Amino acid sequence: MLLHDARRDVSPAAHEAAVRAYLEASGNSETEFQRELAVLGAINTMRILGIFSRLTSRDNKPRYLAFMPRMWGHLGRTLEHPSLADARAFVNDVARPYLEKAA
């Protein structure tokens, strides 16, 4: 999940280079890997968004609000994968303004 870091941006070129390096070293299918990366990325990003929400509201740690737009951006990008169409529809129904602000 280094490619979806909450505290720093990973450039598209660095993201692509990391994926290419992994695929070349592992010999795995790119199609399957991209699907798994999107699914795991979406799950992890939603988990982190929930933790950050709890830290800001319950634990009075507002500094985590600064990281949330980046995480919403990560979520939006992972939800672009075709296999996540149902998840994308759900997130659009319940949290569209957050995704739109992050885009």
What is the tens place of the pLDDT at every residue in 29-75?
999 999 999 999 999 999 999 999 999 999 999 999 999 999 999 99
Q: Kindly report the CATH class assigned to 2-102.
A: alpha beta
What count of other Cβ atoms lies within 10 Å of the Cβ of residue 38? 19
1, pLDDT greater than 80 = no
Q: What is the pTM of this model?
A: 0.88
Sequence spans of domains, the chain:
2-102
Instruction: Give the C-alpha separation, 43 to 23, whole Å.
Output: 22
Cα 56 from Cα 43, distance rounded (Å): 20
